[in-house]
Chains A and B, each alone.
Chain A
């Protein structure tokens, strides 16, 4: 029998599967390309396609020919320790495989690799004639920074209007934001349900919901609201019945303090669940901290966008701010979601995070939270093969007495 979760996974998987070189948010309008997650409500309301070339690269690492692709990317001479998702994106670009956009919007966030990719996009000779808008993301999180970022996003809209000769429909933007707020509330609701012990549903559905909502042609649409509503309703029923993930005997709950990447969820996490009853309760992408967009005025709307960009976009949140902030998130997640351990995948591309490993380890020791540092490539399983990673995690859980 197909349960509701399989159905939801199939639906989202259909929209996300195979998504790579084509625009992620395909629509009949003009095509805008960026090096990060541009505020999705804007292209949706404006009626244009939007693609994040970082995501294009990341998606490339999930393709069947990923290894070959990554090797080709290395041959282009990109710095060897650069994040693999970015290497692949650089390769796609240099090989002329990315569709020429009508407008490029980049920012210096959130990591050095994405910044480099943005520079590459802006300096890419065959696209010299494409209009470009560059934003500056401050490494801070206060009202002034949100306003500063919001103003730039507002200017990006004006720039789009000038380039495409068409005005933004502000009522439409408002409508999209209302829908988006509703969807974010549902994502938050699902997140709360993951606090239940045993965890009622595969926690990775948060990430899937987020990706489906943001990165597909169905972006911010009533279908997504419906998808999320079904997810929450089905999970509420399981919480009431005190049921855990089907077929899993929950023994350990851990925080995966990094992005999930292209291979860990399907191979590593699935095996950890089945064989050890160990569940990755939370990761960067599924930690949903979205504040509803304040629709009081145009200014408050854009300040909200600025806040989301700087503080609530999963990767910006963890890469752009202080170590203190990073550590606080770890402690809060561990407490709220009753995690037994913290796993620091230490993705090779995350130089910012990796410079904090000792601090995190010391903090966990002080708070009595078992902590394991791996050092993997979340986009290339050859760097540290899944079996080796599994064994290391398994040994860690055994030595700490968690399984």
Chain B
């Protein structure tokens, strides 16, 4: 069991709430192996698939411009049975329905693998830096959430959120052999829906922070300074420095 297990049902609940409020929802089922995932896609997937840049004039639409709303969540578990492998859920309009307009964007990636443990967080996060690996799709260098562009060319070829889901699954699965199952959820239905998702994201962030601390602890660095002055062995040194500063200040004030 990993620390994120409790959040997988929360995401499912979020999707159900969206369904109950009448949001347009489409669900696709993708194959499992990286090669099958890539087969039949209208665009190339893998290192060097694009130059890393989509110019303004070549842009069909943007996803997750912070003004429109943006949120990204990555969860992982060592119990792949909690995940519907290959499921791609889209809440809201797809790329072709956007008419080229920027859409709010929420991306949830849920990863499962029996060998995954809490320490895997960093490696999985770095696998998620997709850079130049999806043709016609550029993730902007913006560190808070996902802000991306789809090129006119890719849109014309039929690039959709299902394509994106499959491409992400292929990249994650080929980047980390411990991944056995993966599910993605995309939300484009509105800023308010993104905000609701963001509430879950904030809780996840808190857990992630703890994981990061743990990872550093294993490396020998305690980044959580739990001590205070009264318990610190260097307190006498600090006290001396403070005394000297006080005297210096008194001299200055004279």
Q: Residues of A with Cβ closer than 8 Å to B?
A: 142-143, 181, 188-189, 191-193, 195-197, 232, 236, 239-240, 289, 291-292, 294, 322-324, 328-329, 331-333, 335-338, 359
Contact of B143 with A332 in the complex, beta carbons under 8 Å:
yes
Contact of B216 with A336 in the complex, beta carbons under 8 Å:
no
A-B contact pairs, 13 of them (CB 8 A): A142-B202, A188-B140, A189-B56, A192-B53, A195-B141, A236-B56, A239-B53, A289-B141, A291-B66, A292-B67, A324-B215, A328-B125, A328-B143
> Whole-angstrom distance between the alpha carbons of A295 and B243 in the complex?
48
> Whole-angstrom distance between the alpha carbons of A338 and B223 in the complex?
30
Tell me the B129-185 residues at the A interface (CB within 8 Å).
129, 131, 138, 140-144
Chain A residues with CB under 8 A of B215 = 324
Q: Residues of B with Cβ closer than 8 Å to A?
A: 51-53, 55-57, 65-67, 125-126, 129, 131, 138, 140-144, 202, 205, 212, 215-216, 221, 223
B91 to A: closest C-beta gap in Å: 22
Contact of B223 with A323 in the complex, beta carbons under 8 Å:
yes
Q: Looking across the interface, which residue of chain A has its beta carbon closest to that of B140?
A: A192
Contact of A331 with B56 in the complex, beta carbons under 8 Å:
no
> Whole-angstrom distance between the alpha carbons of A119 and B45 in the complex?
54
Task: Known A236-B57, A323-B223; judge A188-B131 contact (CB<8 A).
Answer: no
Query: Taking chain A's interface residues, is the majority helix, strand, or loop, or is none over half, making it mixed?
Result: helix
> Whole-angstrom distance between the alpha carbons of A168 and B131 in the complex?
43
Task: Known A322-B223, A335-B129, A336-B129; judge A240-B55 contact (CB<8 A).
Answer: yes
Contact of B52 with A142 in the complex, beta carbons under 8 Å:
no
Q: Looking across the interface, which residue of chain B has its beta carbon closest to that of A323?
A: B223
Contact of A292 with B129 in the complex, beta carbons under 8 Å:
no
- Add 19 more A-B contacts to A142-B202, A232-B56, A292-B65 (CB < 8 A): A181-B67, A191-B141, A192-B53, A195-B53, A289-B142, A291-B66, A291-B144, A292-B66, A292-B67, A322-B212, A322-B223, A323-B221, A324-B215, A324-B223, A328-B125, A331-B126, A331-B129, A332-B141, A336-B129
Chain B residues with CB under 8 A of A359 = 221
9 closest A-B pairs by beta carbon, nearest first, are A195-B52, A336-B141, A335-B129, A291-B66, A324-B212, A292-B67, A335-B131, A195-B53, A292-B66
> Whole-angstrom distance between the alpha carbons of A350 and B57 in the complex?
41
> Whole-angstrom distance between the alpha carbons of A273 and B223 in the complex?
38
> Whole-angstrom distance between the alpha carbons of A323 and B215 in the complex?
12
CB contact between A188 and one of B138, B142, B221 (< 8 Å): that residue: B142
Chain B residues with CB under 8 A of A289 = 141-144
Chain B residues with CB under 8 A of A337 = 141
Contact of A324 with B216 in the complex, beta carbons under 8 Å:
yes
A317 to B: closest C-beta gap in Å: 9
Chain B residues with CB under 8 A of A291 = 66, 142, 144
> Whole-angstrom distance between the alpha carbons of A189 and B65 in the complex?
13
> Whole-angstrom distance between the alpha carbons of A78 and B67 in the complex?
45
Contact of B143 with A329 in the complex, beta carbons under 8 Å:
yes
CB contact between B129 and one of A192, A240, A332 (< 8 Å): that residue: A332
B120 to A: closest C-beta gap in Å: 15
